[in-house]
Each structure stands twice: as C-alpha cells, then as structure tokens.
C-alpha cells in the first residue's frame, strides 16, 4: 500500500507535473525500441512506467506491452492513456524488486529514471529481477542518477544539516521533501559504479546525459543521468 503523500504517488496526483516532460517519450528509447522490434523483439516491459509515456510508445510500435509501478495514480493514468489510443497492456502494481512475471518473459525491458530509487542492495535486487524476466540475449535500457547531479550535492548537504539521511555512501533520503521525491532513497552512481551494478550484463553503451539548467533566480545547475543499453547474457 503506497502512502499517497509520498514518493511519486503525490507528484502524479498533480496533472501539471505530467506536463513537465513526462508526457513525451524519450527519443533514444523510441528509436532503440523500434530497432529491436525490427530485429524481432515483441514482448516489452516498462518497469516503473509512471503515467505511461514509454508504455504507449512501445504499444504504438507493436509490442505486446507490460507496465509496472508502485503508484496507483500513475498506473490508472497509464491504463487510461493506452485505452484512449486504442491499445491494451498488462498494467499492474508491483515493486521493482519483486516482479510478477515468469523467467524470460520479455525481449526488452525499459526502466527510465526508476531503479535508483532504492538503496544499493535494492538496485542490485532490481537488476537481478530484470535479468530474470529478460530472455537470454534480451535487451535492457536503464538509467541511473549521477553523482554529479545537483541532487547528490543537495542531499549530501541536507544530510550534514540533519535534514536528510545518508543511508550508505552515495545513498540518501530526505524524508520531508514535499515538492520532490526525496523521501525515497536515491542511489547516485559514477561510471565505475554503473559498470559494477551492470556487471552481469554485456554493456553496449553507457553515456552520461547532462542537462544544464538554471533555477528561478538564474543560478545554474546540472542534472546528470547515466543511460545504459545492455544485453542479458545467454
């Protein structure tokens, strides 16, 4: 049972949040999904689907699509959005660390800005679940939040002030974070840590995506996510 005031559940209850970019699929995901589909992939999982931008993109390409999340509001949005465009999918509430699917059920798993909402052990468990539900040779597109992201320094500062918690090195929580998702753990990675976490996969590409932005007072900050494309071994 998800606390409606916490995590992403309270954010997805605010329609304006979805309009801040969460309604458009990431082009990198769409082009990879299309290439894999053209090469024969048919069964896809959008793990931590949120309101469903990638679930819908996968369905539009032609995949038989499943989507999971822990936010009931996101799942309702995802199912409604899919239906409104004439698609169906297996959409279900599930924690990423215990996926309700058979071994080798998918050819392709997408997990965009999701799996780092955990301790390191939780990220490891999630990646083991992804590996289990992917068929041998199946593909994974996954993102991690970078140690250079503005949030890492911000959470570290809050932990030092007693406003947040350092659970372990590079993993923080900010329990009273009403406007964001800081009450969930965040595990931040550099390239070496991303490679270590993905050690059982064959990494085909690993790229840091940097977005330079400025706050409402014009102060610059940077958002950094590692984007990984990998293959499950045989």
Ligand X SMILES: C[S@@+](CC[C@H](N)C(=O)[O-])C[C@H]1O[C@@H](n2cnc3c(N)ncnc32)[C@H](O)[C@@H]1O
Nearer to ligand X, 113 or 119 (CB): 113
Instruction: Report, in Å, the least distance between residue 7 CB and ligand X.
Output: 6
Grouping H, G, I as helix, E, B as strand and the rest as coil, residue 33 is helix
Nearer to ligand X, 101 or 137 (CB): 101
Nearer to ligand X, 15 or 137 (CB): 15
What's the rounded Cα separation, in Å, for the pair 71 and 119?
19
**φ, ψ at 194 (rounded to 5°):** -60, -45
Instruction: Report, in Å, the least distance between residue 183 CB and ligand X.
Output: 11
Q: What is the DSSP letter of 113?
A: S
Interface positions with ligand X (CB under 6 A): 7-8, 22, 48-50, 53-54, 69-71, 74, 95-96, 112-114, 117, 184
What's the rounded Cα separation, in Å, for the pair 78 and 56?
8
Q: Would you say 75 and 91 are in contact if contact means Cβ atoms under 8 Å apart?
A: yes
Instruction: Report, in Å, the least distance between residue 15 CB and ligand X.
Output: 14
Instruction: Report, in Å, the least distance between residue 123 CB and ligand X.
Output: 10
Nearer to ligand X, 17 or 203 (CB): 17
Instruction: Report, in Å, the least distance between residue 23 CB and ligand X.
Output: 9
Please report which residue ranges of the chain form alpha helices under DSSP H: 9-12, 15-17, 27-38, 53-61, 72-84, 120-133, 150-160, 191-197
Nearer to ligand X, 15 or 233 (CB): 15
**φ, ψ at 42 (rounded to 5°):** -135, -25
Task: Give the residue at shortest CB distance from ligand X.
Answer: 50
């Amino acid at each position: 049972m998800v606390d409606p005031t916490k995590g992403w559940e309270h954010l997805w209850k605010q329609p304006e949040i979805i309009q801040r970019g969460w309604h458009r699929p990431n082009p990198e995901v769409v082009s990879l999904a299309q290439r894999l589909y053209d090469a024969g992939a048919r069964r896809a999982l959008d793990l931590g689907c949120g309101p469903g931008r990638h679930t819908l993109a996968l369905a539009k390409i032609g995949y038989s699509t499943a989507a999971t999340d822990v936010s009931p509001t996101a799942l309702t949005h995802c199912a409604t959005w899919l239906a409104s465009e004439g698609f169906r999918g297996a959409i279900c509430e599930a924690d990423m660390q215990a996926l309700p699917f058979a071994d080798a059920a998918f050819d392709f798993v997408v997990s965009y800005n999701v799996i780092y909402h955990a301790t390191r052990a939780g990220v490891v468990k999630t990646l083991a679940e992804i590996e289990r539900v992917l068929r041998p040779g199946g593909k994974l597109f996954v993102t991690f939040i970078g140690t250079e992201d503005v949030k890492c320094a911000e959470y570290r500062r809050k932990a030092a002030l007693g406003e947040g918690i350092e659970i372990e090195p590079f993993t923080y929580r900010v329990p009273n974070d009403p406007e964001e998702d800081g009450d969930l753990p965040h595990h931040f990675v550099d390239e070496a840590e991303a490679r270590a976490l993905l050690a059982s996969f064959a990494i085909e590409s690993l790229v840091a995506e940097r977005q330079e932005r400025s706050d409402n007072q014009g102060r610059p900050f940077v958002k950094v996510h590692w984007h990984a494309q990998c293959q499950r071994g045989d």
